Chains A and B, each alone.
Chain A
Amino acid sequence: MHELSVAQLSLGLRQKQFSSLELTRSYLDRIRTLDGQYNSFVTVDEEGALAAAAVADARLAAGEAGPLLGIPLAHKDIFCTRGIRTSCGSRMLDNFVPPYDATVTARLRDAGTVMLGKTNMDEFAMGSSNESSFYGPVHNPWRLDCVPGGSSGGSAAAVAARLAPLATGTDTGGSIRQPAAFCGITGLKPTYGRVSRLGMVAFASSLDQGGPMARSAEDCALLLNAMAGFDPLDSTSSELPVEDYSAGLQQPLAGLRIGLPREYFGQGLDAATGERVHAALALLEQQGATLVDISLPHTGLSIPTYYIIAPAEASTNLSRFDGVRYGYRCAQPQDLRDLYTRSRQEGFGDEVKRRILVGTYALSAGYYDAYYKKAQQVRRLIRQDFLDAFGSVDVIAGPTTPGPAFALGAKGSDPLAMYLEDVYTLAVNLAGLPGMSVPAGMADGRPVGLQLIGQHFQEARLLNVGYQLQQVSDWHSQVPAGGEQ
Chain B
Amino acid sequence: MTVKQDEIEKIAELARVRIAPEEAAEVTARIANILTLVDQLQAVDTDGVEPMANPLDAVQRLRADAVTEINQREAFQAIAPAVENGLYLVPKVIE
A residues at B contact (CB < 8 Å): 95-99, 191-193, 206, 232, 235-236, 238-239, 301, 303-305, 307-308, 315, 319, 322-327, 329, 333-342, 344-345, 348, 353-354, 356-358, 360-362, 364, 370-371, 373-381, 383, 415-416, 419, 430-433, 456
Contact = CB atoms under 8 A, between A and B. Distances in A.
A421 to B, nearest CB: 14
A353 B12 CA distance: 9
B86 interface: no
A206 B37 contact: no
B40 interface: yes
Chain B interface helix/strand/loop/mixed:
loop
Interface string B24-57: 0001001101110111111010100111111110
Contacts of B82: 329
B46 A206 contact: no
A381 B44 contact: yes
Nearest to A335: B91
B56 A238 contact: yes
A190 B12 CA distance: 35
B42 A348 contact: no
A354 to B, nearest CB: 6
Interface of B: 3, 7-8, 11-12, 14-20, 27, 30-31, 33-35, 37-42, 44, 46, 49-56, 58, 60-61, 63, 72, 75-76, 78-82, 88, 90-93
Nearest to B39: A304
B63 A354 contact: no
A383 B40 contact: no
A357 B27 contact: yes
Nearest to A432: B55
A10 B1 CA distance: 59
A415 B29 CA distance: 12
Contact of A338 (B3, B55, B75, B91): B91
The 3 closest A-B pairs by CB, nearest first: A432-B55, A376-B51, A377-B46
A374 B76 CA distance: 39
15 contacts: A191-B56, A206-B53, A232-B63, A307-B38, A308-B41, A338-B91, A356-B15, A357-B27, A357-B31, A360-B14, A361-B7, A361-B31, A374-B41, A374-B42, A419-B37
A380 B55 CA distance: 8
B17 A326 contact: no
A376 B56 contact: no
B12 A357 contact: yes
Contacts of B41: 301, 304-305, 308, 371, 374-375, 378
Contacts of A376: 51-53
A324 B18 contact: no
Nearest to A82: B75
Contact of A345 (B17, B35, B38): B17
A416 B56 contact: no
B17 A336 contact: no
Contact of B79 (A96, A303, A456): A96
A377 B49 contact: yes
A37 B8 CA distance: 40
Contact of B49 (A361, A381, A419, A456): A381
Given A378-B46, A415-B34, 18 more contacts: A191-B56, A192-B54, A206-B53, A301-B40, A304-B38, A304-B40, A336-B90, A339-B91, A342-B18, A345-B18, A345-B20, A361-B8, A371-B38, A374-B41, A374-B42, A377-B49, A431-B55, A456-B56
B49 A364 contact: no
A433 B37 CA distance: 25
Contact of A380 (B11, B16, B52, B90): B52
Contacts of A383: 52, 55
Nearest to B13: A341
B81 A370 contact: no
A239 B19 CA distance: 44
Contacts of A191: 56
Contacts of A232: 63
